[in-house]
């Protein structure tokens, strides 16, 4: 890894900051996305009792969400690149909000699998649309921070879920949790359609902010690369492999962390809220902090390659202690270990998303995000089946945590081998087996 430095960007501050309002909308969408996604994990102990699920039943329900999520990611990227983020995002959140509400109507594992499948199809578009929006609205040196902020919405959603869902469930039944959270998505949809436009067409964007946003346009190709040709690009494979190896760790947090706390420390719907909130608050700090780190390094003169990879390396090292989570002496020691790993994952994701916007033409960002997300979903499908059967057979999370502790270092090594120098050359590579190495 070459720790080269480059001149820090010297851009005049714009007169308006509409791009950060757009970032706030992306943050809110991601928050809603994760509330709808995580409800099933919070309600797992309750639904197992009320509806008689087995561990394998729950593993299958999660599996079908992951399957739809993977299929949706492959399909949504090219669609969003063609029709744009405004309509693409609107259609996605409308679909997943409707699917969230449909959960209230089903009772069997098969019914929940169908509702989760539809939810996965809609939710798949969130990050491809969001990261494409970041690439369109932010100069390169602000993208990791913007990605970190929107990615923090995942943690805010994960914090809000154990607060909102138990209250709704205790007072109105578990069905109300699905209905109320689904309705929130439709409120966001109204705000998005009323406010969102492309930077050049937005009435509130000043000339100076538009120039600031387009500061890197001369060095970044805009044209869309045909979807099939993206599989011949090293940035596509670097992102996809990294997502395949590390996304399952985050799915482990989303879908099994409440169950881990329940089994390990006898917590229930009324008591695992504070530990979950603490873990996801740490994850929130990691998301923004990880994105800030590489952006700060670039402002201090580090090149894109060094800034992104140093931030990724720091995050990978912080996941290693998860190996000791099952042997923690008490609940809050385990929370500290798991919180550090969750923070590291979110910081990792913020920088990995920025690598996509660094190395892929803007017209193909959503497509590459979709391909990588599908790879992550496949990893999550494997994780869902493995964890379900492992718990049924052995009753232990330790083998899963052993694997999780090394996944990020392996992913970073592969990313570095595929992209030895992240920079302008990769962004301009549109043909051949991969980007030029400079």
Question: What is the dihedral sign for C-alpha 384, 389, 392, 394?
Answer: negative
Q: Provide the pLDDT for residue 78.
A: 85
In whole angstroms, how far apart are CA 306 and each of 17, 147, 422? 28, 18, 8
188 closest CA partner among 35, 42, 293: 35
Nearest to 118 by CA among 132, 101, 135: 101
What pLDDT shows up at residue 12?
Answer: 63
DSSP bridge partners of 5: 302
361 touches 230 (CB < 8 A): no
DSSP state of 302: B
- Residue 429 confidence (pLDDT): 41
Residues 6+ apart with CB under 8 A from 207: none
Least Cα distance to 324 among 391, 408, 260, 405 occurs for 405
CB 302 within 8 A of CB 3: yes
294-to-10, 212, 284 alpha-carbon distances in Å: 17, 19, 16
Put simply, whether the predicted model's pTM sits higher than 0.85 gets the answer no
- How high is the pLDDT of residue 411? 96
Distance from first CA to last CA of the chain, Å, rounded? 13
Cβ-proximal residues to 269 (8 Å cutoff; 6+ apart), any chain: 42, 45, 46, 166, 169, 170
Please report how many Cα atoms fall inside a 13 Å half-sphere around the Cα of residue 36, on the Cβ side: 38
Structure token digits, residue 256: 């099994």
Quote the CA–CA distance of 249 and 400 in Å, as a whole number.
9
Give the pLDDT confidence score for residue 263 in this predicted structure: 81
At residue 196, the pLDDT reads 93
DSSP per position, 222-282? -SPPPGGGGGG-HHHHHHHHHHHHHHHHHHHHHHHHHHHHHHHH---TTTSHHHHHHHHHH
pLDDT at 432: 35
Q: Are the C-beta atoms of residues 129 and 370 closer than 8 Å to each other?
A: no
pLDDT of 258-290, one tens digit each? 888 888 888 877 787 789 889 988 988 888 888
Tokens coding 269 = 């719907």
* CA-only gyration radius of the chain, Å: 21
Q: Which two tokens stand for residue 222?
A: 């805009």
Residues of the chain with pLDDT below 70 are 1-12, 15, 216-224, 423-438
What gap in Å lies between CA 306 and CA 312, rounded to an integer? 10
Q: How many CA atoms lie within 13 A of 235 on its CB side?
A: 32
Which residue's structure tokens are 């970073």? 412
Contact 307, 211 (CB under 8 A): no
Tokens representing 204 are 């509130």
């Amino acid at each position: 890894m070459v720790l080269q430095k480059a001149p820090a960007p010297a851009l005049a501050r714009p007169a308006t900051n509409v791009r950060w309002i757009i970032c706030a909308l992306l943050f809110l969408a991601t928050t809603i996305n994760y509330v709808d996604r995580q409800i099933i994990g919070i309600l797992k102990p309750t639904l197992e009792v009320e509806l008689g699920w087995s561990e394998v039943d729950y593993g299958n329900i999660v599996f079908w969400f992951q399957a739809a999520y993977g299929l949706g990611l492959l399909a949504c990227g090219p669609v969003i690149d063609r029709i744009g983020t405004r309509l693409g995002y609107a259609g996605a959140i409308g679909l997943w909000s409707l699917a969230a509400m449909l959960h209230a109507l089903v009772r069997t594992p098969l019914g929940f699998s169908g509702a989760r499948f539809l939810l996965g199809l809609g939710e798949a578009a969130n990050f491809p649309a969001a990261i494409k929006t970041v690439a369109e609205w932010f100069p390169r040196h602000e993208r990791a921070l913007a990605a970190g902020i929107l990615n923090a919405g995942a943690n805010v959603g994960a914090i809000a879920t154990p607060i909102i869902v138990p209250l709704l469930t205790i007072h109105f039944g578990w069905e109300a949790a699905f209905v109320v959270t689904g309705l929130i998505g439709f409120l966001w949809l109204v705000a998005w359609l009323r406010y969102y436009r492309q930077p050049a067409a937005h009435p509130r964007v000043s000339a100076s902010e538009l120039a600031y946003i387009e500061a890197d346009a001369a060095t970044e190709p805009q044209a869309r690369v045909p979807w099939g040709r993206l599989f011949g690009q090293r940035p596509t494979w670097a992102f996809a492999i990294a997502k395949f190896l590390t996304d399952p760790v985050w799915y482990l947090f989303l879908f099994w962390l409440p169950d881990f706390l329940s089994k390990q420390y006898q917590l229930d719907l009324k008591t695992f809220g504070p530990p979950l909130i603490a873990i996801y608050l740490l994850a929130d700090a990691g998301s923004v902090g990880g994105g800030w780190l590489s952006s700060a390094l670039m402002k201090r003169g580090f090149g894109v390659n060094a800034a992104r990879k140093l931030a990724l390396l720091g995050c990978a090292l912080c996941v290693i202690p998860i190996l000791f989570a099952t042997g923690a002496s008490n609940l809050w020691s385990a929370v500290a270990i798991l919180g550090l790993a969750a923070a590291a994952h979110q910081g990792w994701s913020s920088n990995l998303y920025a690598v996509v916007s660094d190395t892929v033409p803007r017209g193909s960002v959503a497509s590459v995000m979709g391909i990588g997300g599908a790879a992550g979903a496949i990893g999550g499908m494997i994780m869902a089946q493995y964890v379900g059967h492992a718990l049924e057979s052995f009753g232990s999370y330790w083998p899963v945590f052993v694997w999780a502790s090394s996944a990020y270092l392996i992913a970073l090594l592969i990313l570095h081998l595929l992209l030895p120098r992240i920079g302008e050359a990769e962004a301009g590579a549109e043909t051949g087996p991969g980007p030029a190495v400079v």
